[in-house]
């Protein structure tokens, strides 16, 4: 992880070798995305949500380009520096793939966040950037539902049956149709048919910039996004 260097990823500063091994991480004091959004529909506009999700997409595109699988993307693992700047965190389950590998097969199942996992992760322990795309879709749902929990009161096995039946979570009331369309594409059952993060980032960018254009006359790069614009 120390080799990862991107504005939208929490940076590893160093390792502390005391009685217990500890990682020293970059500070992102705004807390996790879902808690930031919870109960704030009136305060935080959809454009702000789209801005943060676009930043997450840029960070995930960087990981995809580096052949790095996160395996635990969720709103709880997106930390805010401020309300206009998000960073991806928690790389405890992450895996760097070999140069010629497109996926990673876990040796055994653990205590996994099943509600965020793609079908191939649960059925075959198979992880790739496309399974991260599925998780990104769930993260989008969390964000546009302003911090609600996905799949309501369903348990993991019930979620898998729900997905196998071709069902998906409904569009959150505040979610724009364009964003639910992207969400649905992220939840394509066959992993090879899902969009990659290059496509996801471009669609998020186009949508966010369209909102910025309506609000300001033309899309502008904020301080947080300067590194990705040009």
Residue 2's SS3 state is: coil
144 vs 138: CA distance, rounded Å: 10
d(C-alpha 199, C-alpha 139), whole Å: 17
Active site residues: 72
Within 10 A of 30 (CB to CB), how many other CB atoms are there?
Answer: 17
H or E segment at 21?
strand 21-25
Nearest to 187 by CA among 97, 104, 115, 90: 115
Q: Where are the alpha helices (DSSP H) in 38-164?
A: 46-65, 119-124, 129-144, 156-164
User: 3-state SS of the chain: helix, strand, coil percent to 5?
Assistant: 45, 15, 45
Residue 66, classified by CB atoms within 10 Å of its CB into exposed (0-12), middle (13-18) or buried (19+), is middle
**What residues contact residue 189 under an 8 Å CB cut-off, 6+ apart?**
119, 163, 166
């Amino acid at each position: 992880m120390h080799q990862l260097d991107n504005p939208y990823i929490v940076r590893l500063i160093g390792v502390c070798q005391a009685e217990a091994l500890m990682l020293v991480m970059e500070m992102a004091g705004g807390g996790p995305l879902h808690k930031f959004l919870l109960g704030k529909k009136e305060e935080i506009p959809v454009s702000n949500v789209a801005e943060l999700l676009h930043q997450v997409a840029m960070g995930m595109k960087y990981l995809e380009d580096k052949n790095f699988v996160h395996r635990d993307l969720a709103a709880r693992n997106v930390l805010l520096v401020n309300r206009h700047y998000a960073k991806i965190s928690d790389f405890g389950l992450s895996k760097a793939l070999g140069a010629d590998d497109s996926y990673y097969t876990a040796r055994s199942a653990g205590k996994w966040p099943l509600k965020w996992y793609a079908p191939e992760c649960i059925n075959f322990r198979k992880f790739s950037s496309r399974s991260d795309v599925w998780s990104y879709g769930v993260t989008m749902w969390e964000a546009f539902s302003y911090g609600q929990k996905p799949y309501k009161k369903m348990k993991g096995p019930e979620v898998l049956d729900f997905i196998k039946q071709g069902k998906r979570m409904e569009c959150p009331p505040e979610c724009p149709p364009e964003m639910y369309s992207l969400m649905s594409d992220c939840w394509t059952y066959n992993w090879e048919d899902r969009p990659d993060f290059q496509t996801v980032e471009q669609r998020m960018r186009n949508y966010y910039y369209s909102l910025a254009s309506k609000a300001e006359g033309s899309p502008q790069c904020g301080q947080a996004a300067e590194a990705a614009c040009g």
